[in-house]
């Protein structure tokens, strides 16, 4: 009988239904798994499911029967792909399940910050409206989105959906170009969506955008891609939005940029360490009236999480049937 081990079932909402596989299998669920428990729990597993529990060279030699790792997420930096390849273990991930939920969360952050919704809400609770003695007051800045440049770093499905929403608000979406995409490909891609190519160099996107939003994977080439040097380029004092991966931004540099006024605010759904421990810089950053930090929930609309769970089992069943899908390795 095939043995399937889900190392961190609690990373999916309790109401999410994970259907039984269509083949004869024993499925073992663990709510959470610490690093020192992974090898033991995968010792006789044929298929591993993980969302945030790392799987790499340290545990693979002890997992002799393991043949497939199904990642319950799109990002796959939690799994050592090369180590899995060396040990004959294939890896699949989840795709295109969050094409609405993440972009909608991105714009929830943008709108809340551009209109100072959080500080205005708190000021009403604190009695400021009565103290003002007028029909309104102007304690916090309010800015429109129409006519502003939306810089998007990452032109996958999520980045493109964000561009579409921004365009509907009257913004000018501009993607950061990157090595390997030629001008002809840019033209083909964006004629379909907006009628003209909308790419610029990363430096130009950073210098000219009023809102900058990140939608790229975390890789060695993108780790801390936004740091002091990049913040110094941001001439428009933009909002910085990150609903992708925490490691894309140097968080100490983010605090310095906020303190220096290099950016007008920040909306982050992801942090380098999740959850951030006591004394983590993001706790200080989150106290600022021009910052919103949410606990990595941009992906977590109920229908999106259920779609993820359904696709996860599709991937497992496809592997068992010898018709693997969504393979990374």
Active site residues: 245, 274, 296
Beta bridge partners of 212: 151, 240
Pair 295, 271: CB distance under 8 Å:
no
Cβ-Cβ contacts under 8 Å for 110 (sequence gap 6 or more) = 145, 211, 213, 239, 241, 267
Pair 145, 169: CB distance under 8 Å:
yes
Q: Which two tokens stand for residue 28?
A: 């073992």
Pair 90, 68: CB distance under 8 Å:
yes
Instruction: Provide DSSP, 131-176.
Output: HHTSS---SS-----TT-EEEEE--SHHHHHHHHHHHHTT-EEEEE
Q: How far apart are CA 149 and CA 166, in angstroms?
A: 9
- Show the CA angle centred on residue 148, arms to residues 147 and 152, nearest 5°: 130
Which of these, 324, 102, 64, lies nearest to 216 by C-alpha position? 102
Backbone angles phi, psi at 94, to 5 degrees: -100, 140
Q: How far apart are CA 102 and CA 153, in angstroms?
A: 14
| Other CB atoms within 10 Å distance of the CB of residue 292 | 20
Q: How far apart are CA 215 and CA 180, in angstroms?
A: 18
């Amino acid at each position: 009988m095939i043995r399937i081990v889900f190392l961190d079932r609690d990373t999916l909402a309790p109401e999410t239904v994970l259907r039984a596989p269509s083949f004869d299998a024993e499925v073992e669920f663990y709510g959470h798994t610490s690093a020192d428990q992974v090898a033991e729990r995968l010792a006789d597993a044929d298929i591993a499911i993980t969302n945030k529990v790392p799987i790499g060279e340290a545990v693979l030699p002890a997992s002799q029967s393991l043949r497939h790792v199904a990642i319950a997420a799109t990002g796959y930096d939690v799994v050592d792909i090369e180590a899995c390849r060396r040990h004959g273990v294939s890896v699949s991930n989840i795709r295109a399940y969050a094409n609405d939920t993440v972009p909608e969360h991105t714009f929830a952050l943008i709108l809340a910050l551009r209109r100072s919704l959080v500080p205005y809400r708190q000021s009403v609770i604190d009695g400021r409206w009565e103290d003002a003695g007028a029909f309104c007051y102007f304690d916090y800045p309010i800015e429109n989105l129409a006519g502003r440049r939306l810089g998007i770093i990452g032109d996958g499905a999520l980045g493109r959906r964000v561009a579409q929403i921004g365009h509907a608000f009257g913004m000018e979406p501009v993607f950061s170009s990157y090595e390997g995409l030629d001008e002809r490909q840019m033209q083909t891609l964006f004629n379909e969506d907006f009628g003209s190519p909308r790419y610029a160099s990363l430096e130009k996107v950073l210098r000219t955008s009023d809102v900058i939003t990140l939608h790229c994977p975390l890789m060695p080439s993108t780790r801390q891609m936004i740091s002091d040097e990049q913040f110094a380029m941001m001439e428009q004092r933009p909002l910085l939005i990150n609903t992708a991966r925490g490691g894309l931004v140097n968080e100490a540099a983010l605090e310095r940029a906020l303190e220096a006024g290099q950016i007008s605010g920040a909306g982050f759904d992801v942090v380098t360490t999740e959850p951030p421990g006591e004394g983590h810089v993001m706790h200080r950053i989150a106290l600022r009236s021009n910052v919103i930090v949410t606990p990595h929930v941009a992906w977590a609309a109920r229908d999106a999480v259920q779609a993820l769970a359904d696709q996860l089992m599709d991937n497992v069943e496809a592997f068992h049937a010898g018709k693997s899908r969504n393979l990374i390795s």
